[in-house]
Amino acid sequence: MVMTLNPPTTLISSVEFEKMFGEDDRVELWRGVLVEMSPVKPTHWKISFRLGMILGNHVLQAGIGEIASGEAGFTIEEGPDTVVAPDLTFVETEAARAMSDDVPGFPRYVPPLVVEIKSPSDSEPQITAKLSLYYAAGVAEIWWVRPRQKTLTRYWADREPVVLHAGDTLDDVDALPGFSMAVDEMFPAE
Protein backbone atom coordinates (compact mmCIF):
# COMPACT_ATOMS: atom_id res chain seq x y z
CA MET A 1 0.00 0.00 0.00
CA VAL A 2 1.16 3.52 -0.73
CA MET A 3 0.73 6.00 2.09
CA THR A 4 1.94 9.63 2.23
CA LEU A 5 4.04 10.49 5.27
CA ASN A 6 4.28 14.27 5.03
CA PRO A 7 1.75 16.92 4.01
CA PRO A 8 2.11 17.97 0.33
CA THR A 9 2.74 21.54 1.53
CA THR A 10 6.05 20.46 3.14
CA LEU A 11 8.18 19.35 0.20
CA ILE A 12 11.41 17.43 0.81
CA SER A 13 14.50 17.38 -1.43
CA SER A 14 16.36 14.22 -2.42
CA VAL A 15 19.31 15.24 -0.19
CA GLU A 16 17.01 15.69 2.85
CA PHE A 17 15.29 12.42 1.95
CA GLU A 18 18.61 10.53 1.97
CA LYS A 19 19.38 11.84 5.49
CA MET A 20 15.95 10.86 6.85
CA PHE A 21 15.86 7.18 5.97
CA GLY A 22 18.17 4.18 6.04
CA GLU A 23 18.73 1.60 3.33
CA ASP A 24 16.23 -0.79 4.93
CA ASP A 25 13.33 1.69 4.85
CA ARG A 26 10.82 1.22 2.04
CA VAL A 27 10.04 4.83 1.25
CA GLU A 28 10.04 6.79 -1.99
CA LEU A 29 9.80 10.53 -2.66
CA TRP A 30 7.11 11.52 -5.15
CA ARG A 31 7.41 15.19 -6.14
CA GLY A 32 8.68 16.13 -2.69
CA VAL A 33 6.17 14.00 -0.75
CA LEU A 34 7.27 10.93 1.22
CA VAL A 35 5.45 7.77 0.17
CA GLU A 36 5.71 4.60 2.25
CA MET A 37 5.83 1.31 0.37
CA SER A 38 4.77 -1.92 2.01
CA PRO A 39 7.23 -4.82 2.39
CA VAL A 40 6.84 -7.51 -0.26
CA LYS A 41 5.48 -11.03 0.04
CA PRO A 42 7.15 -14.25 -1.23
CA THR A 43 5.65 -14.33 -4.73
CA HIS A 44 6.84 -10.75 -5.29
CA TRP A 45 10.46 -11.37 -4.28
CA LYS A 46 10.57 -14.69 -6.15
CA ILE A 47 9.51 -12.97 -9.38
CA SER A 48 11.94 -10.12 -8.72
CA PHE A 49 14.80 -12.58 -8.23
CA ARG A 50 13.98 -14.67 -11.32
CA LEU A 51 13.48 -11.69 -13.59
CA GLY A 52 16.55 -9.96 -12.14
CA MET A 53 18.67 -13.02 -12.93
CA ILE A 54 17.33 -13.26 -16.49
CA LEU A 55 17.83 -9.55 -17.18
CA GLY A 56 21.16 -9.45 -15.34
CA ASN A 57 22.58 -12.36 -17.34
CA HIS A 58 21.54 -10.68 -20.58
CA VAL A 59 22.96 -7.22 -19.82
CA LEU A 60 26.22 -8.63 -18.44
CA GLN A 61 26.76 -10.93 -21.43
CA ALA A 62 25.90 -8.08 -23.82
CA GLY A 63 28.11 -5.68 -21.86
CA ILE A 64 25.45 -2.97 -21.92
CA GLY A 65 24.97 -2.15 -18.24
CA GLU A 66 23.72 -3.32 -14.87
CA ILE A 67 20.43 -4.38 -13.31
CA ALA A 68 19.69 -2.60 -10.03
CA SER A 69 17.40 -4.23 -7.47
CA GLY A 70 14.55 -2.58 -5.55
CA GLU A 71 16.86 -1.12 -2.94
CA ALA A 72 18.47 1.24 -5.50
CA GLY A 73 17.15 4.81 -5.45
CA PHE A 74 17.18 7.15 -8.44
CA THR A 75 16.25 10.83 -8.64
CA ILE A 76 14.15 10.97 -11.81
CA GLU A 77 12.76 14.47 -11.36
CA GLU A 78 13.93 17.65 -9.62
CA GLY A 79 12.03 20.66 -8.30
CA PRO A 80 10.15 19.09 -6.55
CA ASP A 81 12.27 15.96 -6.34
CA THR A 82 11.11 12.45 -7.14
CA VAL A 83 13.21 9.52 -5.91
CA VAL A 84 12.01 6.06 -6.88
CA ALA A 85 13.25 2.55 -6.18
CA PRO A 86 11.73 0.33 -8.88
CA ASP A 87 11.77 -3.42 -8.27
CA LEU A 88 14.32 -3.68 -11.10
CA THR A 89 16.06 -0.97 -13.10
CA PHE A 90 18.25 -1.22 -16.19
CA VAL A 91 21.23 1.14 -15.80
CA GLU A 92 23.33 1.72 -18.90
CA THR A 93 27.10 1.10 -18.60
CA GLU A 94 28.28 4.72 -18.75
CA ALA A 95 25.64 5.86 -16.26
CA ALA A 96 26.53 3.03 -13.86
CA ARG A 97 30.22 3.97 -14.04
CA ALA A 98 29.44 7.62 -13.30
CA MET A 99 27.36 6.87 -10.18
CA SER A 100 29.08 7.32 -6.83
CA ASP A 101 28.13 6.91 -3.17
CA ASP A 102 30.10 10.10 -2.47
CA VAL A 103 27.56 12.41 -4.12
CA PRO A 104 24.80 13.69 -1.79
CA GLY A 105 21.28 12.51 -2.55
CA PHE A 106 20.45 9.76 -5.00
CA PRO A 107 21.86 9.53 -8.52
CA ARG A 108 20.07 11.80 -11.00
CA TYR A 109 19.20 9.24 -13.64
CA VAL A 110 16.20 8.50 -15.82
CA PRO A 111 16.49 4.81 -16.72
CA PRO A 112 15.46 3.55 -20.15
CA LEU A 113 13.65 0.60 -18.53
CA VAL A 114 12.08 -0.02 -15.12
CA VAL A 115 10.20 -3.04 -13.80
CA GLU A 116 7.53 -2.90 -11.10
CA ILE A 117 5.83 -5.93 -9.57
CA LYS A 118 2.30 -5.38 -8.29
CA SER A 119 1.85 -6.08 -4.59
CA PRO A 120 -1.59 -7.13 -3.33
CA SER A 121 -1.90 -3.74 -1.61
CA ASP A 122 -1.20 -1.71 -4.80
CA SER A 123 -4.35 -0.16 -6.24
CA GLU A 124 -4.81 0.64 -9.91
CA PRO A 125 -4.96 4.42 -9.14
CA GLN A 126 -1.59 4.10 -7.35
CA ILE A 127 -0.13 2.26 -10.35
CA THR A 128 -1.48 4.96 -12.68
CA ALA A 129 0.06 7.67 -10.45
CA LYS A 130 3.47 6.00 -10.54
CA LEU A 131 3.25 5.45 -14.31
CA SER A 132 2.60 9.18 -14.71
CA LEU A 133 5.76 9.94 -12.68
CA TYR A 134 7.77 7.68 -14.97
CA TYR A 135 6.23 9.18 -18.13
CA ALA A 136 6.84 12.76 -16.92
CA ALA A 137 10.48 11.93 -16.15
CA GLY A 138 11.04 10.38 -19.59
CA VAL A 139 11.42 6.67 -18.74
CA ALA A 140 11.24 4.98 -22.15
CA GLU A 141 9.64 1.67 -21.12
CA ILE A 142 7.95 0.42 -17.95
CA TRP A 143 7.04 -3.20 -17.26
CA TRP A 144 4.34 -3.85 -14.69
CA VAL A 145 4.14 -7.48 -13.59
CA ARG A 146 0.85 -8.68 -12.12
CA PRO A 147 1.57 -11.99 -10.32
CA ARG A 148 -2.04 -13.10 -9.77
CA GLN A 149 -2.90 -12.70 -13.43
CA LYS A 150 0.54 -13.95 -14.54
CA THR A 151 0.92 -11.02 -16.90
CA LEU A 152 3.54 -8.46 -17.79
CA THR A 153 2.24 -5.19 -19.21
CA ARG A 154 4.63 -3.08 -21.27
CA TYR A 155 4.02 0.68 -21.09
CA TRP A 156 5.45 3.49 -23.21
CA ALA A 157 4.50 7.17 -23.17
CA ASP A 158 3.89 7.24 -26.93
CA ARG A 159 2.17 3.86 -27.54
CA GLU A 160 -0.68 1.78 -26.25
CA PRO A 161 0.24 -0.74 -23.51
CA VAL A 162 0.80 -4.36 -24.49
CA VAL A 163 -0.20 -7.16 -22.12
CA LEU A 164 1.82 -10.38 -22.28
CA HIS A 165 0.53 -13.56 -20.64
CA ALA A 166 2.13 -16.81 -19.53
CA GLY A 167 2.88 -18.59 -22.80
CA ASP A 168 3.90 -15.36 -24.59
CA THR A 169 7.43 -14.27 -25.44
CA LEU A 170 8.87 -10.92 -24.40
CA ASP A 171 11.27 -9.54 -27.00
CA ASP A 172 11.94 -6.49 -29.15
CA VAL A 173 13.00 -4.34 -26.19
CA ASP A 174 14.72 -1.17 -27.42
CA ALA A 175 16.97 -0.84 -24.34
CA LEU A 176 18.00 -4.52 -24.45
CA PRO A 177 19.12 -5.51 -27.96
CA GLY A 178 18.79 -9.25 -28.56
CA PHE A 179 16.77 -9.86 -25.37
CA SER A 180 14.09 -12.55 -25.46
CA MET A 181 12.31 -14.35 -22.64
CA ALA A 182 9.31 -16.62 -22.20
CA VAL A 183 6.98 -14.78 -19.80
CA ASP A 184 6.51 -18.05 -17.85
CA GLU A 185 10.18 -18.00 -16.80
CA MET A 186 9.66 -15.26 -14.23
CA PHE A 187 6.77 -16.90 -12.39
CA PRO A 188 7.50 -19.42 -9.60
CA ALA A 189 6.05 -22.92 -9.91
CA GLU A 190 2.88 -23.33 -7.89
- Coil, helix or strand at residue 163: strand
Q: pLDDT tens, 30-53?
A: 888 888 877 788 899 999 999 999
Beta bridge partners of 29: 34, 83
User: Does residue 136 register a pLDDT over 80?
Assistant: yes
Which structural domains are found in the chain, ordered by start? 39-186 (3.90.1570.10)
User: Does residue 143 register a pLDDT over 90?
Assistant: yes
User: Does residue 1 register a pLDDT over 50?
Assistant: no
User: Does residue 121 register a pLDDT over 90?
Assistant: no
Report the relative pairing of strands 141-146 and 151-156 from DSSP bridges: antiparallel
- Name the range with the highest mean pLDDT among 19-23, 127-131, 142-146: 142-146
The pLDDT mean for the chain works out to 90
Give the Cα separation of 12 and 8 in Å (integer): 9
Task: State the pLDDT at residue 23.
Answer: 63
Task: State the pLDDT at residue 5.
Answer: 57
The arithmetic mean of pLDDT across residues 149-175, rounded, is 96
The answer to whether the CB of 47 falls within 8 A of the CB of 188 is yes
Q: Please, which residues have CB within 8 angstroms of residue 32's CB and are 6 or more apart in sequence?
A: 8, 11, 12, 13, 80, 81, 82
Beta bridge partners of 169: 182
Task: Output the pTM of the full model.
Answer: 0.89
Supply the DSSP symbol for 108: B
The answer to whether the CB of 93 falls within 8 A of the CB of 121 is no
User: Does residue 2 register a pLDDT over 70?
Assistant: no
Supply the DSSP symbol for 138: T
Q: List the Cα angle 60/61/65 in 5-degree steps.
A: 30
